[in-house]
């Protein structure tokens, strides 16, 4: 199976995406899922979106990208994070 490419984005590419990256790395390691992770800001995503299998975002993204984006805000709040991790796992293991 090809290694999946994941892009984690937030408004600036620094604060919340860094928190999500740490949680995502730990989750993927625990599940044994081998994926390539990159981090960026939302303004860069239109130029790069087609290079990724999945985009995990803590901010609003353009409608054209909605189908490959998972909202990561629950990973920051802790409320609903299990469902987000299930979505991520499903996207990366199919």
Active-site residue identified among 7, 8, 10, 70: 10
Tokens of 80: 């609903």
Angle at 89 between CA 88 and CA 94, to 5 degrees: 110
Which residues make Cβ contacts (< 8 Å) with residue 39, sequence separation at least 6? 7, 8, 9, 13, 17, 18, 21
Give Dmax (Cα) for the chain.
33
Known catalytic residue: 2? Answer: no
Annotated catalytic residues are 10
């Amino acid at each position: 199976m090809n290694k999946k490419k994941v892009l984690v984005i937030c408004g600036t590419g620094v604060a919340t995406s860094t928190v999500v990256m740490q949680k995502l790395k730990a989750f993927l390691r625990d599940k044994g899922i081998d994926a390539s992770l990159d981090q960026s800001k939302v303004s860069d995503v239109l130029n790069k979106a087609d290079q990724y299998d999945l985009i995990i975002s803590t901010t609003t993204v353009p409608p054209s990208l909605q189908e490959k984006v998972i909202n990561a805000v629950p990973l920051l709040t802790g409320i609903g994070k299990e469902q987000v991790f299930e979505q991520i796992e499903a996207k990366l293991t199919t």
